[in-house]
Amino acid sequence: MEPHSVAGSGDATGAPPAAFRAVLEALESVHPRSEIVLERIPAPQRLAPWAHAVGAVVYEPDGPDEVEVATGRFIVLYDPEGHQAWDGTTRCVGYVSAGTDEQLVDDAMFSEVAWSWLTDALAEHEAGAHAIGGTVTRTASTRFGDLAGPEHSVEVEIRASWTAEDNSALGRHLTAFLDVLGSAAGLPPPGVRLLGPSDRGGDDTL
C-alpha cells in the first residue's frame, strides 16, 4: 500500500515516517471475512500530513448473484507533530452505511446499540483508543414514481473517529471497524452460518 502525503515528500526520497510505515504494515496484515471486500481508495488531502484510506463493501448471495448490503470507509490520519484535538498523532476515522430493519427506526435504543458495536469491538480486539466520538443516524426513505428500488427503505449510518495509541496495532483497529461493518450489515458472527430451508432437510421445525 502506497501512503498518501499532503505535505509533499516527507524527506528527499518521499518516504513516509517510520511510525506511519508501521501503520501501513499493520493494515496489510488484516484479512477480512469472505463477505467483505477491501480496496484502497483516495485518502483525504487536507486533514493531516500523511493519510491512508480503505474502502469496504459487504456482499450477500442473492441466487446466482451477489448484492451489496453495506459499505464503509476506514481512514488513518497521521501527524508526526501531534494534533491537539486528537490528543495524539494518529487518528482513525470510520464511516458505515447499511440497510436495516424498518422497525429499528423507531427503536429508541438502536442508536446506543449501534454505537456499542464500535466500543465493544475496539475493546474485544484490544485496540487501544481514546478521544472517541461520532454519530449514529437512522434514515427512512419512501420512493415515488419511477425511481428504481424498494418502495420503503431504512438505512443506518455510523460516523466515528478515535485516536489510536499504538501505530503498530492499527490492524486491530481496522479489524474492529470491519466487525462494526458486519454488525450493521446483519452478518452472523465469524464462523457461524445461518440455516436456510434447504439446510433443514425438509423439516421446518427448529
- Residue given cell 454488525 in the structure block: 183
pLDDT digits (tens, 9 = 90+) for 83-124: 899 999 999 999 999 987 666 556 668 889 999 999 999 999
Mean per-residue pLDDT, 17-42: 95
How is the chain split into domains, by residue range? 4-189
CA distance 188 to 165: 29
- Mean pLDDT, residues 142-147 taken together: 61
Work out the burial of residue 108: count CB atoms within 10 Å of its CB; fewer than 13 is exposed, 13-18 middle, 19 or more buried: exposed
Distance CA 185, CA 119 (A): 17
Tell me the pLDDT tens digit for each residue of 164-206: 999 999 999 999 999 999 999 989 876 555 444 334 344 443 3
pTM given for the model: 0.81
